[in-house]
């Protein structure tokens, strides 16, 4: 059997007599409205015969005024449609649907709560209700994300542009500096040339061990004028109790094949070694990358000194710079009651840490003095001894003979040093009469130098 039906007073939908809420609009159905039912055979759109009654259905007066629509609630949106007209006045052909009678005072109101009131497009209303808050939040998030994305992109682009600009500037500056200040080619392999040449400069024994040609060395700055670096490795020996006063910056020059000279660009030690010591040293020169090392020369000595040239070849012939000694067996005379014998004469380029002047040499005369008298004799060779070369006479520049010869003392030795012109082969020792030396008289010793 089909259950009794009734109509919703708000939307006009047919509902079962046992339903408390309308299944179409969700309106609360009052108990009184539940009494307005249709018989199982009576449906919407089939009007019952006029003047008949049903045992189960009560028909309101056809002139009854339908209830007014519920007032809008504060939380309703402006976009929602007004409530539907009761089904009794809706579409034609569906018959008359009686409205509910007014609810007496004290009884439950038939007006549905806000959540149960009929709305047009209720599904869209939920979305619209959510959109007011959520859409604003979503829109704000989208705007913020978009702003951050655009800002981040612009920032990254600016950073990339700045970095690229700096890199380009640095690269350009580096290239300019390389071309303008660093002509040194990086393709020059390091080559070593053995030398092993030894001489004595300013009484310091110097050996040029080898020469190395390279683009650069770790201790050097990038060359500015040359295209490569020539390093000369040295061994030095100082036999003196003092240190000669010279600087390689002043006394060392590299003579190139075209006879131009190059001063050191860098060096390990600039001055002479410590007294009574040995050491290693190196001098660097800026040179062309195509330099023929075998045609270069290391020159020691200033323009006012006796200069010494070392060809940068393996085992160069440096014999002319070695001291030259001549021995004598009968070069003697008697002066002031004592016998004076010249045992040797040595020509050298330096003496006691001093390099000979340009066109000059040092002559060292080794003497043996025998005092066979019965008294001590005091003397100073500077007072009465001279060296004659041609028509010139030169006083001693240094001597190691003591000023007093003890009585009955033989084989007393010492040295007297003179400066002579370069190329001197013969000379004469002049011993003059001097009032400071008792029993002195003029005498001389002729010497032939080898």
Predicted confidence at residue 154, as pLDDT, reads 59
* H/E segment holding residue 363: strand 360-371
The torsion angles phi and psi of 400, rounded to 5 degrees, stand at -115, 10
Q: Provide the token pair at 189.
A: 């392999």
Tokens of 169: 């500037």
Query: pTM for the full model?
Result: 0.59
Per-residue pLDDT tens for 108-132?
444 555 544 555 444 454 444 555 5
Q: What is the DSSP letter of 182?
A: -
Task: Quickly name the fold that domain 324-448 has.
Answer: Immunoglobulin-like (2.60.40)
B/e letters for 221-257, b = 16+ CB within 10 Å, e = fewer, are: eebeebbbbbbbbbebbbebeebbebebeebbbbbbe
CATH class, 192-318 region: mainly beta
Positive or negative torsion for Cα 46, 49, 54, 60: positive
Show the tokens assigned to 174.
């580096």
Q: What is the pLDDT of residue 58?
A: 43
**Of 427, 201, 418, the residue nearest 323 (C-alpha):** 201
**Domain ranges (residues) in the chain:** 1-62+79-118, 121-181, 192-318, 324-448
Q: Which residue has the tokens 């007006």?
A: 111
State the Cα–Cα distance between residues 215 and 213, nearest whole angstrom: 7
pLDDT at 141 (0 to 100): 77
**According to the model, what pLDDT value does residue 75 have?**
44
What pLDDT score does 159 carry? 56
CA-CA-CA-CA torsion sign (215, 220, 221, 224): negative
Extract the residue ranges of the chain whose pLDDT is less than 50. Answer: 1-2, 32-66, 72-110, 115-116, 120-123, 125-128, 163-185
Phi, psi (degrees; rounded to nearest 5) at 35? -75, -20
Whole-angstrom distance, CA of residue 337 vs CA of residue 221:
68
Q: What does the block give as tokens for 115?
A: 């959540």
Cα–Cα nearest to 370, from 406, 400, 396, 397: 406
Q: In 3D, which of 386, 372, 370 has the Cα closest to residue 442?
A: 386
The number of residues making up the chain comes to: 450
Q: Secondary structure of the chain: what % helix, strand, coil (to 5)?
A: 20, 30, 50
Q: Which residues pair with 305 in a beta bridge?
A: 357
- The residue with tokens 């009465």 is 384
Q: What is the pLDDT of residue 112?
A: 52
Nearest to 70 by CA among 88, 87, 86: 86
Q: Name the DSSP letter for residue 385.
A: E
Q: How do residues 149-161 score in pLDDT, each as one tens digit?
A: 656 655 555 555 5
Strands of 308-311's sheet, edge to edge?
261-262, 252-255, 297-300, 308-311
Q: Do the first three CATH levels of 192-318 and 324-448 match, i.e. the same topology? A: yes
């Amino acid at each position: 059997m089909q259950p009794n039906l009734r109509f919703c007073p708000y939307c006009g939908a047919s509902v079962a007599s046992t339903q408390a809420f309308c299944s179409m609009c969700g309106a609360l159905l009052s108990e009184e409205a539940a009494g307005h039912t249709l018989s199982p055979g009576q449906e919407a759109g089939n009007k019952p015969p006029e003047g008949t009654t049903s045992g189960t259905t009560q028909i309101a007066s056809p002139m009854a005024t339908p209830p007014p629509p519920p007032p809008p609630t504060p939380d309703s949106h402006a976009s929602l449609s007004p409530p539907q007209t009761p089904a009794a006045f809706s579409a034609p052909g569906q018959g008359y649907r009686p409205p509910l009678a007014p609810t007496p005072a004290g009884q439950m109101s038939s007006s549905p709560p806000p959540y149960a009131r009929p709305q047009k497009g209720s599904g869209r209303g939920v979305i619209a209700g959510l959109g007011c808050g959520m859409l604003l939040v979503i829109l704000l998030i989208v705007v913020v994300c978009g702003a951050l994305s655009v800002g981040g992109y612009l920032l990254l682009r600016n950073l990339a542009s700045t970095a690229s600009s700096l890199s380009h500037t640095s690269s350009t500056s580096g290239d300019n500096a390389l071309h303008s200040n660093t002509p040194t080619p990086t393709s020059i392999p390091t080559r070593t040339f053995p030398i092993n040449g030894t001489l004595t400069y300013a009484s310091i024994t110097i050996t040029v061990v080898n020469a190395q040609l390279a683009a650069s060395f770790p201790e050097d700055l990038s060359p500015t004028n040359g295209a490569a670096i020539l390093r000369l490795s040295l061994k030095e020996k100082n036999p003196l109790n003092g240190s000669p006063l010279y600087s390689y910056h002043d006394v060392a020059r590299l003579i190139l094949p075209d006879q131009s000279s190059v001063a050191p660009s860098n060096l390990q030690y600039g001055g002479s070694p410590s007294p009574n010591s040995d050491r290693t040293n190196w001098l660097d020169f800026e040179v062309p990358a195509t330099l023929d090392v075998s045609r270069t020369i290391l020159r020691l000595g200033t323009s006012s000194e006796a200069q010494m040239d070392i060809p940068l070849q393996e085992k160069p012939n440096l014999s002319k710079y070695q001291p030259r000694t001549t021995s004598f067996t009968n070069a003697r005379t008697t002066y002031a009651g004592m016998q004076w014998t010249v045992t040797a004469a040595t020509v050298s380029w330096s003496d006691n840490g001093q390099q000979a002047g340009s066109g000059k040499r040092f002559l060292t005369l080794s003497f043996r003095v025998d005092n066979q008298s019965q008294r001590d004799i005091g003397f100073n060779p500077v007072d009465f001894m001279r060296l004659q070369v041609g028509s010139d006479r030169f006083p001693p520049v240094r001597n190691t003979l003591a000023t007093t010869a003890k009585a009955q003392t033989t084989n007393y030795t010492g040295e007297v040093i003179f400066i002579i012109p370069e190329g001197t082969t013969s000379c004469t020792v002049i011993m003059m009469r001097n009032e400071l030396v008792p029993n002195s008289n003029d005498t001389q010793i002729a010497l032939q130098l080898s």
